[in-house]
Amino acid sequence: MLYYSAALLIGFLILFRSADQFVMGSVATARNLNITPMTIGLTVVALGTSAPEIFVSATSSFHGEPDIAVGNAIGSNIANLGLVLGTTALIIPLRFRVDILRNDLPILIFITLCAGACMIDFYLGMWDGLLLISALLLFLFRIRVEHKRSSSMEVAAEILDLEEFPDMSCRKAMITLSFSLILLLFSSELLVWAAIGIAQYLEVSELIIGLTVIAVGTSIPELVVSLTSALKGQTDLAIGNIIGSNIFNILTVLSIPAIFAPSVLDPLTLWRDYGLMFGMTMLLVIFAFKLGGHSGISRIRGGLLFSLWLGYIIFIYQTALVA
């Protein structure tokens, strides 16, 4: 157990570091190829920041462990809403930006419903994955069209802030990209191996490990970004970060096992895990309206989100260990 735990920790550390390098190398390579900043922001940066979840999902799927991938996708969304938003709101109350209420939140609800429709027959197959990938392409296209229509350069710069990524020569960019890709693959392999080992040691399913340990681990970057944004006074960005992350988790991370490792789902995956994810998403919608005199996530509401997540973690481990 000690070896598996150490491997898990090392795997996460390498995964996070290599994911950052992967995004920087990808952005620099795209710049050297004269790809527009808009395209870089909507593809390389947006998808690259979900690299930890994507690579873990792909690795577990190729190893014939789709439960880890599915658990990672759903569990990460639950952790984002409960652990990340809950913890952040407990420190600094969060406010909703108008464009989040009008655009992003309705999209998250729609995509969450699409995920439920894909799983309603307790089977996640290739056609479900293709549906999610198609929705991802439409989502990226919609964002591109919206930003083309927008006359506010400040908004575009806020969302597609590429100044933080350093310029690199073509050779250095390719080396960074290649090396980080190798490390991403290695760390993902290490994480999946450790997750399977821990599941076998505790005599619980790989789904449980994916929903908890892997999901929480891959949500740590979102927690850091949200806390940093909130402490800088950009509380609306903290909410936007989580909504965007949850959208990409459903459309990319969940589509990978569907396409490459179709599988029959445990009924609990739909009723317990997806049910909580959907319920917490709708709770976010309720918080978006002026209930109790304000729109946003107060400390009390943040405490509620965190308590739901913590109670969920305790519940599934108690039921798994008793079984």
Give the model confidence (pLDDT) of 242-284 as tens digits: 888 899 899 999 999 999 999 999 999 999 999 999 999 999 9
CATH number at residue 126: 1.20.1420.30
Distance CA 291, CA 296 (A): 9
Look at residue 182 and tell me if it is in a domain: no
SS3 31: helix
What is the pLDDT averaged over residues 111-115? 96
pLDDT given at position 82:
96
Q: Residue 255 sits in which domain range?
A: 53-155+188-322
The answer to whether residue 206 sits within a structural domain is yes
**Residue 237 falls within a domain, yes or no?**
yes
The model's pTM is 0.86
Query: Has residue 87 been placed in a domain?
Result: yes
- What's residue 119's pLDDT? 96
Instruction: Fill in the amino acid letter for 262.
Output: P
Residue 18 lies in a domain: no
Q: Which of 25, 78, 91 is nearest to 281 (CA)?
A: 78
Examine residue 98 and state whether it is found in any structural domain, yes or no: yes
Give residue-wise pLDDT tens across range 30-51: 778 777 655 665 566 556 667 7
Question: Is residue 121 in a domain?
Answer: yes
Per-residue pLDDT band for 116 (boundaries 50, 70, 90) equals very high
Q: Within a domain: residue 250?
A: yes
Q: How many domains does the chain have?
A: 1
